[in-house]
Amino acid sequence: MIMPPENTPQGFLAVPAENRASKPDPMRKPNLNSSPADGLPGLERERAWVTIDLNALAYNVESLQRWVGPRVELMAVVKADAYGHGAIATAKTVLAAGATRLAVATLEEGIELRQADIDAPILVLGLLQNLVQMQIAVDYDLELTLCTLDQVERLAGAATGSDRPLKVHLNIDTGMSRLGVPWQEARSLVQGVYAQPTLELASIYSHFATADESDSLWANRQHQRFEQAIAQIKSLLKSLDRPLPPLHMGNSAAILNNRIFHYDWVRPGLALYGLCPAEFLSDRLPLKPVLSVHARVAQIRTIHPGEGVSYGHRFVAQRPTQVATVSIGYADGIPRRLSGQLSVIFNDQLIPQIGTITMDQLLLDVTDAPDLRVGNMVTLLGTGQYSENLAISAQDWADTLGTISWEILSGFRHRLPRVILPAT
């Protein structure tokens, strides 16, 4: 038995020196993507956590590659911390499974991957306007999105003095009306790029606004506009004796919707993580969810008829009710708007959540789950312990809330440790 030192306050247990965390280095920059439980072995599953199944992720990459065929490359979209799955582990897994390049939204996301020794091509999908940011991107060998003519000179200036040209990817706006050069003006931007020896046109792309809708009118219109822009660019490149760079337009929905949208590369996002972007596409390709969410029961109490629970007493017991407190809440990414509409899984049984979801806890009616004990794990997203037929998905939550599964996945906060199940 370990005895505490004499000066240990009464009621406190001393931690052996070899198990103590080292003092933080005041000069070390904090890792904003880490969880408080990171670096504390054994504590990752003590409260609540997210499990990431890298075998499922690799399966999805391989399935998508078979779907598009060997001549089409996968640019895996790992922005927003890989949709909440952890950018570094996700990036390494998708590249090992067959993806050839990555896409992020911000400069900082690209730098994070480079600092993790990932050397695959990385496209920053967001628009950089600041010269200093552009120069940093050059230093980290990141590839940048080009949307406007006035960007060309700044990008060329940022690459001046570099031992390699800066690779830029022309984003053509065909109907998303978000980023990109209008499709009628794309030819002039290409001409501007080839006038700058420090720039290299690495690809030309566009983005669908409605590929996840069964009505293909606008998707087809965007595709036609892209084709018209490319025809004009081909004419220019022929006069310059330059080859046409790779083309890409297909997000997850477009990949599954129509093979004519595939081109040279595709940009899967949601499908990588095992979710289908639209119900009408759900039978096209079997996918495996990569992320599951779990938490432990902290306390169980009995309340009497007429007693309420949580803020606002939105649930009032109609019978003697066993109430379990679970250590996860809206600060972890469980939407408060799901209050009273959520269920969790315990031993292949659905258990209803009751009352208002709070910042750090939620409550369950476990009256009909007599086997549940303090310390037991419940599953908020994922499958049953013994049967995969019982499952709760991010899409289920999204349907309840009238939103999209992308928002659900990217909402899980970094204080939830990521427990990684490695690919085998």
CATH of the domain at 266: 3.20.20.10
User: Any idea what the CATH number is for the domain that residue 332 is in?
Assistant: 2.40.37.10
- Please check whether residues 313 and 264 belong to one and the same domain: no
For residue 184, the model assigns a pLDDT of: 96
Q: Give the residue from 274, 299, 316 where a domain finishes.
A: 274
23 part of a folded domain: no
234 and 312 housed in the same domain: no
Task: Verify that 76 and 208 share a domain, yes or no.
Answer: yes
Residues with Cβ within 8 Å of residue 167, at least 6 apart in sequence: 121, 143, 144, 200, 201, 202
**Contact between 175 and 219 (Cβ < 8 Å):** no
Whether 119 maps to a domain, the answer reads yes
pLDDT score for 145: 97
Give yes or no: residues 59 and 163 share one domain: yes
**Domain-located, residue 1:** no
160 within domain boundaries: yes
Clarify whether residues 72 and 121 are in a common domain.
yes
Q: Supply the range of the domain harboring residue 358.
A: 291-392
Active site residue 311: yes
pTM of the model: 0.87
Q: Which of 79, 167, 205, 273 is catalytic?
A: 79
Last residue of a domain, one of 274, 304, 332: 274
Both 295 and 248 in one domain: the answer is: no
Question: Is residue 237 domain-shared with residue 307, that is, in the same domain?
Answer: no
5 inside domain: no
Residues of the chain with pLDDT under 50: 1-34, 36
Last residue of a domain, one of 274, 304, 326: 274
Is 388 found in the same domain as 342?
yes
Same domain as 241, residue 123: yes
Residues 95 and 188 in one domain: yes
Q: How many CB atoms lie within 10 A of CB 212?
A: 21
Say if residue 99 is in the same domain as residue 226: yes
Indicate whether 102 and 189 sit together in one domain.
yes
Residue 68 resides in a domain: yes
Q: Is residue 257 part of a domain?
A: yes
What integer pLDDT is reported at residue 40 of this predicted model?
53
Which is the catalytic residue, given 238, 288, 311, 330?
A: 311
Looking at the structure of the chain, the number of domains it has is: 2
Report yes or no on 333 lying in a domain: yes
23 labelled catalytic: no
Quote the pLDDT of residue 389: 81
